[in-house]
Chain A
Amino acid sequence: MTTPSRSALFEEPTCGVNRGKDAAAKKAGCPAPKPGATAGGCSFDGAMITLVPVADVAHIVHGPIGCLGNSWEARGSASSGPQLSRRGITSDLGQNDIIFGGEQKLYDTIVEAAARLTPAALFVYATCVPAMTGDDMDAVCAAAAQATGRPVVPVHAPGFAGTKNFGNRLAGQALLDHVIGTREPATTTPYDVNLIGEYNIAGEMWKVTPVLARAGIRVLASISGDGRYGDIATAHRAKASMVVCSRALLPLARGLQERYGVPFFEGSFYGIRDMGASLRGFAQAIGDGELAARVERIVAQEEAAIGAALEPHRRKLSGLKAVLYTGGVKSWSMISALQDLGVEVTASGATKSTDEDVEKMVELLGPGGRVVTEGTPATLVEVVRETGADILIAGGRNQYTAMKSRLPFLDVNQERHTPFAGYSGMLDLAVALERAVFSPVWEQVRRPAPWEVAG
């Protein structure tokens, strides 16, 4: 990695783990993954998750085919306009590029992509192989920006740098270093905000933005669901930022605060209680009494409406038990959303959570709840069995583990096709839970064939 410097990255006050370390431990960075017993994506994956939702940008992967060829079109982030970020672009490094260097190929790739796809900007992602061979990506990006007349942003998050979370974070750093603050908004309002870490999976941000609009809150920059390069470049003019379910992007929010004085708060759009808290969070961060009053009116209206709509579903779902296994902040946020529906969460995963996340989680789960720290498929199935849960709620990676164990399953991660955010998302969540748990298939597949019981 050329930029940013490693020591600076591991001096992170918003990271609870890091705060507890001494100087030597800080320098060593995050713990290394265990060979032969590691699951989950790399930093490059994380950087792509954070930035690819920017819809009018051409996203170029500088590496051999595996990094993009095996991963593109896999993410469920929706755009209301340009679909450019759905395209997959790569320098597809071959043997000669490894031997002689891939800089020329990358330059040509950027110039060709700019000419053919006319993007608002180009983001260039480093991967392990060119990071090893020492291609000077910063220099190539600078030269290509000159030649194309478009912003070309280097993103230094090669896979071997660490986990997916670390990649999210490095992507945030790239925005802070190269994009934010480079343009001025055409107009501003006293209620301009940034959403940080909301990826508009299955279009769920669109369930939230109308509510924000009713309160008079304008989303200046979305980082990055349905995002646009030009908007993100003006994010420094927002009056507040909300960090949505993403620990890893807290440093970006902190950077916005330190460099441009934009205050931030953490929140979630999942669940009735957290929606209310987030709306109030905006009012508080902006510090506007009128807004606070508007927010209270809207929260009361929305809660009354969704409360009535959910009533028949609550009757069906009440008493159901679920095991939740998802990353970080989303864990406690989903627990509260499920509890809002009358579902009891018997156990929740905490692999990617900080101490504060776990604290909140334990508080929500109550005395009977279990915190699961090891997320292997075998463990999850066991926890579901032991706690008598009716459903496993997790990321797509565990979907077929559940199927093979004949357990109902609901996908709550970035590849899903159902939006769960906002007040109306609660209805979708309720319906999805009902369809999963009360499907007629379970009784059939759990029953042995006649010849297996006869005789």
Chain B
Amino acid sequence: MTTVTTNGRRAVIDPLKLSRPLGAALAFLGVSGCMPLLHGSQGCTAFAKALLTKHFREPIPMQTTAVTELTAVLGSAQNLIEALDTVRAKQHPEIIGVITTGLSEVSGEDLPAAMRAYRAGLGPGDPLVVFVSAPDFAGGLSDGWSTALTALVEAGLQGAGDPTGDPRAFPVLAGVSLTAAELDEIALMVESFGLDPVLVPDLSASLDGHLGAGWTPLTTGGTTRGQLARLGTTRYAHAVGTTSAAAAEALTLGSDTDVVVSQHLAGLDAVDAFVERLWRISEREVPARIRRARSRFADGLLDTHFALGGARVALALEPELLAATADLLACSGAEIVTAVSPTSDPVLRDLPCDEVVVGDLMDLRERAAEAGAEVVVGSSHAVAAAHAVGAAHVPLGVPIEHRYGAALLGVSGYAGGLRFITDVANALLEKTHVTRPTHPFSARKDQP
């Protein structure tokens, strides 16, 4: 049992929290032919777009309803309708993700009603319009992702016009923390058992950093509208991460699909449980490639435990990534001396450490310094804290702006776990200073 505390401060200094609309938009970016549309001031979109552009080093499709001082007061539903019409006429998306913001939520308009009216006028050839409520003032990135993913699953179940499900299809509802590299390994594992992975959403097909034929104004890949519509027809599905749990529940309630939720897929136990399920469902032998990956990971645990054993690690991550990373490092012998989460989540009550703070990077700075942390794991915003503490920084989370390859990071899977513990162990090795005598009598008197 982990104690979940807050810092008791009123000022947020160096925020760890990202906004809820940003999380919702990120989920929609893993859907094919999609345009996320933020219903708020133009800045709500500009900031979210700029942050994701720098993190992924990719063009990010995202539009705004451009609410102004005047329309915020007089009613902004007209902005929303005008924006939907404009985006449809200009970019012809297959899916539009409408996401509210603090601004459009605070005016108290009945936006769901406006959306229902708009949707009623749509025909079969028109784009699917998915509506997500995401006030900036309640929750953060993880909540936005969770709400949007649930809305996508529900939209798929409602539009279930295609009952001819593929018996080999195996949907994976992906949590906010999974990178393209992690999704690749998960998909590969599913595939190797003769199943057809359907990632929902699928950032590994849109924001993995690939060079296509040219620039396009919409997402260049991801879960298709057709795949969403067939979600309820599969026998089995899996959900990875706490931000996919609500969507898993929606799928369970709305279909006969057998859905299992993994809190995360980091560390030997978690990955083993996932592979075991694939093994039982498929009734196939565990492929040699997967056995090999597992044996490499096991070997890596042995090799790195000399560096990781007792290493003092501080983490500042979104709840599900915090749980995944803490479990992986604790199983490698490291000690989680500081854990900071931007928002609250049930998963925080069961971390391999005594205490977790729902707070900011000032908490990370103060607590990591006090605990003598050797390594800080977090986003680019955690670099300054790591430097202040004198700890090494290992990049993970969002945003990663000071380094390349955000899509290649991760902690999940056998291969992903191996890469991560290797990176942390290497950061510790590079940090090791020249050994000096601690007592003056031990020092030799060299001639000058």
By a beta-carbon cutoff of 8 Å, the part of chain A in contact with chain B is 1, 32-45, 60, 63-74, 86-95, 97-98, 105, 108-110, 112-113, 116-117, 128-129, 131-133, 158-163, 377-378, 381, 396-397, 399-401, 403-406, 415, 445
Contact = CB atoms under 8 A, between A and B. Distances in A.
Interface stretch (B43-51, B157-165, B168-176, B345-353): B43-51
Contact of B381 (A34, A72, A128): A72
B3 interface: no
A92 B17 contact: yes
Nearest to B48: A70
Contact of B19 (A37, A65, A113, A131): A65
Contacts of B14: 72, 87-89
Interface string B52-95: 01100111000111111111110000011011111100100000
B106 A70 contact: no
Contacts of B85: 36
Most buried by B among A112, A159, A397: A159
11 contacts: A1-B69, A33-B66, A36-B83, A37-B87, A42-B42, A65-B140, A92-B12, A129-B136, A160-B67, A163-B42, A381-B214
B102 interface: yes
Most buried by B among A32, A65, A90: A65
Contacts of B19: 64-66, 69-70
Contacts of A70: 18-19, 22, 47-48, 51
Contacts, number: 228
Contacts of A88: 12-15, 381
Interface residues of B, number: 72
B46 A40 contact: yes
B43 A86 contact: no
B422 to A, nearest CB: 28
A36 B86 contact: yes
Contact of A69 (B17, B58, B63): B17
B47 A45 contact: yes
Contacts of A162: 68
A66 B214 contact: no
B92 to A, nearest CB: 13
B123 interface: no
B146 to A, nearest CB: 16
B243 interface: no
B66 A129 contact: no
Contacts of B263: none
B70 to A, nearest CB: 8
A100 B68 CA distance: 24
Given A42-B43, A67-B47, A98 B106 contact: yes
A90 B59 contact: no
Contacts of B21: 66
A303 B136 CA distance: 53
Contacts of B107: 132
Given A37-B90, A112-B9, A44 B43 contact: yes
User: Top 6 A-B pairs ranked by shortest CB distance?
Assistant: A42-B43, A36-B86, A36-B83, A66-B19, A64-B136, A108-B10
Interface in B20-53: 20-22, 37, 40-51, 53
A159 B41 contact: yes
Contacts of B43: 41-45, 67, 159
Nearest to B44: A66
B211 interface: yes
B138 A94 contact: yes
Most-contacted residue by chain B among A68, A88, A396 (CB, 10 A): A88
Given A36-B87, A98-B137, A89 B11 contact: yes
Contact of B214 (A69, A131, A405): A405
B133 interface: no
A74 B53 contact: no
B115 interface: no
A95 B137 CA distance: 6
Given A42-B44, A69-B18, A94-B137, 13 more contacts: A34-B86, A36-B37, A36-B65, A40-B42, A69-B17, A70-B47, A73-B381, A89-B12, A90-B15, A109-B10, A128-B67, A133-B106, A445-B211
A160 B41 contact: yes
B13 A377 contact: no
Contacts of A108: 10-11
B204 interface: no
Interface string B259-277: 0000000000000000000
Given A36-B90, A37-B63, A401 B106 contact: no
A113 B13 contact: yes
B384 interface: yes
A129 B105 CA distance: 9
A36 B9 CA distance: 39
A74 B51 CA distance: 8
Contact of B69 (A39, A94, A160): A160
B293 interface: no
B65 A41 contact: no
Contact of B86 (A37, A60, A105, A400): A37
B372 interface: no
A399 B57 CA distance: 9
Contacts of A405: 214-215
A67 B44 CA distance: 7
B64 A38 contact: yes
A159 B44 CA distance: 8
A92 to B, nearest CB: 4
B380 interface: yes
Given A33-B66, A38-B42, A67-B47, A90 B12 contact: yes
A112 B21 CA distance: 28
A377 B12 contact: no
A112 B10 contact: yes
A92 B343 CA distance: 12
Contacts of A66: 19-22, 44, 47-48, 101-102, 136
A67 B69 CA distance: 16
Contacts of A91: 10-12
A74 B401 CA distance: 9
A377 B59 contact: yes
A35 B64 contact: yes
B249 to A, nearest CB: 24
Nearest to B72: A160
Nearest to A112: B11
A165 B341 CA distance: 36
A36 B102 contact: no
Contacts of B440: none
Contacts of A133: 106
Contacts of B86: 34-37
B66 A38 contact: yes
Q: A45, A109, A397, A404: which has the most chain B beta carbons within 10 Å?
A: A404
A57 B43 CA distance: 23
Contacts of B211: 403-404, 406, 445
Contacts of A68: 15
A158 B69 contact: yes
Nearest to B67: A160
Contacts of B87: 36-37
Contacts of A87: 13-14
A102 B202 CA distance: 39
A194 B347 CA distance: 54
B307 interface: no
Given A129-B103, A404-B214, A33 B68 contact: yes
A236 to B, nearest CB: 31
B212 interface: yes
A87 B215 CA distance: 36
Nearest to A117: B13
Contacts of A113: 11, 13
Given A69-B15, A69-B18, A381-B215, A129 B137 contact: yes
B212 A404 contact: yes
Given A64-B137, A161-B69, A400-B53, A36 B59 contact: no
Most chain-B CB neighbours within 10 Å: which of A64, A113, A133, A158? Answer: A64
